[in-house]
Amino acid sequence: MLFYKVKMRWSEKKTATFCFQLSYLLDSGLPLLESINLLLSECAGKEKKRWVQVKKRLEGGTSFSNALESEKADAYLVTLIQAGEYNGQYAQCLSFAATYYENRIQWKQKVFQLVSYPLFLLLVSLVALIFLMKLLLPQILDMYTTMDLPVPSYTQWFVQFDPLWLGVPFLLVPLCIYLLKDRLYYIEPVLLKLPFISRFVRLHYSYHFSQQWGMLLDSGVSILQICLLFIRSSPWPPFQERAIFLHDGLQQGNPLSVLLEKSNCFTAEMIRFVRLGEEGGQLGKCLLSASQLADMELKKRMEIILRWLEPGLLLLIGGMVFFAIILFFLPMLNLLDSIN
């Protein structure tokens, strides 16, 4: 189904703050339930209701990760808590989550600061262009008809075009992003074949895979146990499918690096780290190092995109101005020449 039930998303800012505070309390030696109970006094509204439900589920014997998943917590937070349940390091996993959400918030703020003004200019230019095509262009054509003059060919072509179609991309792009942001795995095979986007997808998968598996391996959990964990409870369908593939391949005696290479969704750099870890017996530490490198490259690529995004939007605005000149001012000049 294209349309699905919209879920209320957790606020990234509030989640980051709560994770940081909970990590601090757990690191100080307080039990999980007591730490959550202390933090509930600082929560309000929907956030407090969610954490109250999480606390009730914990008191009823539900695991922390299942309690969060029942309250529709973010998939990344759930998987980190699952890792904490295996290695007993809730504080470290919550600290990872807080840092992750804080970085996301900073990037969103940076993107908004860079593109808000160019997008505003683009929207104003689009509205002005639609206004000119709807109101001014018919009057110009009436003047040509009254004076019995031939209408320029490019103007005739533009007359047949409905200007309201110019706004369709500005509606479709946000709509598609909203509908597919949680279901991108449906078009994953296509994304992995695109030259530029495929690198982002592989970096994204490599970062999350290497971080979560590295934490679990470094705490003593076996590879087969990690595969079963992701098969049973991973909230990300792509990771569940990869876990099944890896579990079957590992049972047949294949090295992890070979299986990851066959899956064709991870970076070559991460696979090299896995080979080094297999040879040196430090697979967990090597995966954590690979996650840091993947995170650094993701940030660098995002900085490059942001650096070119603002000039690209300004260039698009310039194209719309050029379009308006051709559409309106050239016919007016031709009309004036005919009158003279």
User: What is the per-residue pLDDT for 1?
Assistant: 29
- DSSP secondary structure letter of residue 240: H
Q: Which one has a higher pLDDT value, 151 or 97? A: 97
Is a pLDDT exceeding 60 seen at residue 2? no
Lowest mean pLDDT among 8-22, 28-42, 109-123, 321-335: 321-335
Could you tell me which residues come within 8 angstroms of residue 328 by beta carbon, excluding any fewer than 6 positions away? Answer: 132, 136, 137, 140
The residues near 302 (Cβ < 8 Å, ≥ 6 apart) are 107
Q: How far is the C-alpha of 184 from the C-alpha of 279, rounded, in Å?
A: 35
pLDDT-above-90 percentage for the chain = 10
Q: Is the pLDDT of residue 157 over 50?
A: yes
pLDDT recorded at residue 305:
80
CB 146 within 8 A of CB 335: no
Count the neighbouring beta carbons within 10 Å of the beta carbon of residue 220.
11
Report, as an integer, the average pLDDT of 110-131.
Answer: 78
Rg, the chain, Cα only: 27
CA 290 – CA 212 distance, rounded (Å): 11
CA distance from start to end of the chain: 63
Check: CB of residue 59 under 8 Å from CB of residue 187. no
pLDDT-based confidence at residue 69 (cuts at 50, 70, 90): confident
Q: Is residue 151 predicted with pLDDT exceeding 70?
A: no
For 282, residues 6+ apart whose C-beta sits below 8 A from its C-beta are: 276
Please calculate the CA angle 141-144-148 and round it to the nearest 5 degrees: 140
CB 126 within 8 A of CB 166: yes
**Has residue 326 got a pLDDT over 90?**
no
pLDDT of residue 164: 64
Closest CA to 77 of 95, 60, 89: 95
Integer Cα distance of 274 and 287 in angstroms: 7
Q: What pLDDT band is residue 43 in, cutting at 50, 70 and 90?
A: confident
Rounded distance between C-alpha atoms, residue 12 and residue 73, angstroms: 10
Token pair 């569940």 is found at 240
Distance CA 295, CA 299 (A): 6
Between 32 and 76, residue with greater pLDDT? 32
- What is the DSSP-derived secondary structure letter of residue 264? T
Least confident of 17-21, 216-220, 277-281: 216-220
Minimum mean pLDDT range among 88-102, 118-132, 160-174, 233-247:
160-174
Query: Which residue's structure tokens are 């030259």?
Result: 195
Is the predicted pLDDT of residue 20 greater than 60, yes or no?
yes
Residues 328-338 have pLDDT tens digits of: 667 667 667 76
Q: How confident is the model at residue 90 (pLDDT cuts 50, 70, 90)?
A: confident
**CB-neighbour burial class of residue 97 (10 A; exposed 0-12, middle 13-18, buried 19+):** buried
Residue 245's identity, in one-letter code, is: F
Please provide the average confidence, as pLDDT, over all residues in the chain. 80
Cα–Cα dist 171/252, whole Å: 50
pLDDT tens-place string over residues 289-305:
998 899 889 888 888 88
